[in-house]
Each structure stands twice: as structure tokens, then as C-alpha cells.
Amino acid sequence: MTAHVATLWRYPVKGFSPETLAAVDLVPGETIPFDRAYAVENGPSGFDPAAPLHMPKIKFLCLMKNEGLAGLVTRFDPETSLFAVADKSGAALAEGRLDTPEGRAAIETFLAARFADELRGAPKVLRAPGHSFSDVAKKVLHLVNRETVRVLEGELGVPVDPLRFRPNLVVDGLPALAELDWPRDMPLTIGGLAFEVVKRTERCAATTVNPATATRDLQIPRHLMKTLGHTDLGVYLRVVTPGRLAVGDTLAV
């Protein structure tokens, strides 16, 4: 099988549900547009939108600490900035335009009630134009190898959704674990676009959360450490050349 992009994803609000994409236009040194463009502050964080700096995920609502986020289905409209929140059945829970104080207040009020026992202070929707609330300071795309996840499924004896690993692109057709041998700065092409490897992805407790059930059911970091001697799964990539990336595009190392 030729290595190819199986799925593309973005996460408009850090920690909340992903949105699938058929194709996306990329710019060198940037993320997928609107990927982690927003975050929800869990109590005062010190984040300054006028001078945005990378901060650890613990400053925000995140799956590592707040597995209930996986019980919400969210949708973001980049044209209107409307953010809609529903439950798994599709029942609407809240909505608001994140580019207006009133819209942000509507989302914050909902989250304050929903996560009352997990908050260190009033939740606040944050954004700084051009800033990404990624887990790493560099602006990157996160690649997960589907075959590596299949090996994990075999070892654990249960299905493992690749979305546990919050990928931007899931690639199929690579040998299992091949991506973990890619050295830093190694060039590769996907759909004719140039990328370079930034680093391997260290997994945290967010991967213990089942995205379908919002429960912690698999100790994936512990299993990775036991079987591989580290907790890495996936790699971060930097965009080098501009262009359109699409599902089905082939990958060449």
C-alpha cells in the first residue's frame, strides 16, 4: 500500500472535539488554519493576547485533566466564528460567536456550570490572532501513523481510535513505528508539499480518554513505556512549502 493521508483534522478550540477536513491550504511555518486558535483558560493563567506566549496545557481546559470534554461535540464556523456545543446525542447545549463578548460569555457560562468541580476560577475563552494554543511552542502539524495504532490495538486487544492522539493527519501505508525513526529536520513530501520533522510526540494522560465514551479506559502511556521504553507516538511536522494538502495525497520519505 502506498503511504497516503487517510484523514485530516483540526481542533479550533484546544481540548474540544476535532473537525474533519477533506483538504486544507497550508502556509510555511504555520498550523492548519484555525487549529487550536482558541483555548479556554481554567482560572487565571497570565496569558496576554497582546503578547502571546506558549503556555503548558494545564493552564487550560484539556483532556489530560478534563475528560468530560470528550463528551461534547463542537462545531466552529470560521466565517462567522460561531461555536456550537452539543452532547453525543446531538442535543444543543450552548452556542456563541467567539469574536464577540456576548458569544464568548455564553460559552463561558455553559462551561462554568458544566465543569464547576474542575475549575480553578472563571473559565475564559482566549484568542490572539496568529497564535496557536498547541502543546508545543512551534507551529506544527501532528502526524499519526495508522499502522502504529493497529499494532497498539493488537497488543491491547481492543480497538484504539487514532483520535486519542489528537492528530492533524493520519497516514496509512507506512510500516508500523517507522515515523519514530525519522530524525529531526528530516525532509519529506506529502502531496508534493515539503515538510520537515520537528520532534516525536510524547504522550500524556489525554490518550487514556476514550473519545467515544469520555471515560479513561486505557493506560496508553504506561503501555508504551513498558513495550517501547518511551511514551512517544506520532511526530510533529513543520510546513516548508505552501500549497493544498488533501485526503488521499501520497507521502514520500
pLDDT tens sequence across 207-252: 999 999 999 999 999 999 999 999 999 999 999 999 999 999 999 9
Cell reading at 174 = 507506512
pLDDT value at position 43?
A: 94
Ordered by start, the domain boundaries in the chain are 4-30+136-252, 39-126
| Cα separations in angstroms, 12 against 38, 77, 226 | 6, 9, 33
pLDDT at 66 over 90: yes
Cell reading at 31 = 498550523
Give the right CATH number for 4-30+136-252 from 2.40.33.20, 3.30.70.270, 3.30.420.40, 3.40.640.10: 2.40.33.20
Tell me the pTM.
0.96
Buried b (16+ CB within 10 A) or exposed e, 180-208: bebeeeeebebbebebebbebbebbbbbb
- Burial class of 91 by CB neighbour count within 10 A (0 to 12, 13 to 18, 19+): exposed
Q: What is the mean pLDDT of the chain?
A: 97
As a whole number of angstroms, the distance between CA 252 and CA 190 comes to: 6
